[in-house]
A and B are shown apart, each in its own frame.
Chain A
Amino acid sequence: MMEEGRNAEEARYRALLELDVSSPDAREELVAGLHDESWRVRRAAAEGLTRLPEREAVVERLVSVLGERDETGARNAAAESLSAMGEHAVGPLVRLLLHPDPDQRKFAADILGQLGRLEAEDALVRAMVEDVDLNVRVAAAEALGRMGGRVAARALERILHDPEPLLQLSALESLAALRHPPPLPEVVRLLANPTLKRSAYRVLGLIPQLAATELVCRGLGSESRSTREAALVALGTQALLSESTQRSEMDAAVRLVLRRLPQAAEWVAAALVSEDGELKAGGLVAAAALREPRLAPLVAEVAQEERLMPEVVRTLSYFGPEAGRELLSSMDRLSFPAREVAGQALVEMVDATYVPELVQMLEWGDLDLKMVAVQALGRTRSLDAVEPLSRLLSQSELCALAARALVSLAASFPTQVLQVLEDALTHGAEPAVLNALVRVGGTGMLPLVRRTAREASVPLRATAVEVLAVVDPMGGLELARQALADEAPRVRVAAVRVLGQLGDASMAGLLKRALGDETMEVRLAALDAVGECGAVERAAELEALVQHPDGAIAFRAVQSLARLGALRDEVLQRAVDHEDHEVVKAALLAGAVSAEGVSLAVELLGHPSWDVRAAAARVLGDSGGPECLPATRAALAAEMDSLARRALEDAVDRLSGR
Chain B
Amino acid sequence: MPFDTGKPEMSAEEFRLLRDFVYGHCGILVRDDMKFVMQRRLWPRLEVLGLTDFSSYYRYLRFDAQRRAELETAIEALTTHETYFFREPRQLKAFSEEVLPRLERRNARTKRLRIWSAGCSSGEEAYTVAMLVKDSGRFDGWDVEVHGTDISRRVLAVARQGEYGPSALRATAPDKIARYFDHVGPTRVRVRDDIRSWVTFAHQNLQDPETGLLVSRMDAVFCRNVMIYFDTPARQRVLRHIYDKMVPGGYLLLGHSENLINLSADFELVHLRSDLVYRKPELGGGLAP
Contacts and interface: CB of A to CB of B under 8 A. Distances in A.
Interface of A: 1-3, 6-7, 9-10, 13, 39-40, 43-44, 47, 304, 306-307, 309-310, 313-314, 317-318, 332-337, 339-340, 344-345, 348, 363-367, 369, 400, 493, 520-521, 524, 551-552, 555-556, 582, 610-611, 614, 643, 646
Given A310-B36, A317-B1, A364 B187 contact: yes
Contacts of A7: 282-284
Given A1-B289, A333-B170, A643 B62 contact: no
Contacts of B31: 307
A611 B285 contact: no
A363 B285 CA distance: 56
Nearest to B20: A611
A1 B81 CA distance: 39
Interface stretch (B10-18, B131-139, B196-204): B10-18
A332 B187 contact: yes
B281 A10 contact: yes
A332 B63 contact: no
Contact of B65 (A2, A313, A524, A610): A524
Nearest to B161: A365
A6 B81 CA distance: 38
Interface string B158-175: 100001111100100000
A610 B12 CA distance: 13
A339 B167 contact: yes
B272 interface: no
Contact of B82 (A40, A336, A551, A582): A336
Contacts of B281: 6, 9-10, 13
Contact of B283 (A2, A10, A307, A336): A10
A400 B45 CA distance: 13
B194 interface: no
Contact of B165 (A13, A332, A348): A332
Given A337-B82, A344-B3, 9 more contacts: A10-B281, A13-B281, A313-B40, A332-B167, A332-B187, A365-B165, A365-B188, A552-B63, A582-B59
8 contacts: A304-B82, A307-B31, A317-B2, A332-B166, A332-B167, A333-B170, A336-B82, A400-B48
B33 interface: yes
Contacts of B84: 335
Nearest to B67: A552
Contacts of A493: 65
B37 interface: yes
Contacts of A364: 165, 187-188
Contact of A555 (B37, B40, B48, B63): B63
Given A317-B3, A365-B188, A366-B165, A556 B63 contact: yes
Interface in B66-87: 67, 80-84
The 7 closest A-B pairs by CB, nearest first: A552-B63, A521-B65, A317-B2, A336-B82, A310-B36, A43-B265, A317-B3
Contacts of A366: 165, 167
Interface of B: 1-3, 12-13, 16-17, 31, 33-34, 36-37, 40-41, 48, 59, 62-65, 67, 80-84, 158, 163-167, 170, 185, 187-188, 265, 268-269, 281-286, 288-289
Contact of B37 (A309, A369, A520, A646): A309
A306 B63 CA distance: 30
Contact of B3 (A47, A348, A363): A348
Contacts of B285: 3
A318 B1 CA distance: 6
Nearest to B121: A336
Nearest to B249: A6
B167 A363 contact: no
Contacts of A43: 265
Given A339-B167, A611-B17, A552 B62 contact: yes
Contact of B185 (A340, A365, A369, A611): A365
B80 to A, nearest CB: 6
Contacts of B164: 365
A556 B65 CA distance: 12
Nearest to A341: B40
Contacts of B269: 39
A556 to B, nearest CB: 7
Nearest to A41: B265
Contacts of A307: 31, 33-34
A519 to B, nearest CB: 9
Nearest to B228: A306
Contacts of A610: 16
A267 B37 CA distance: 28
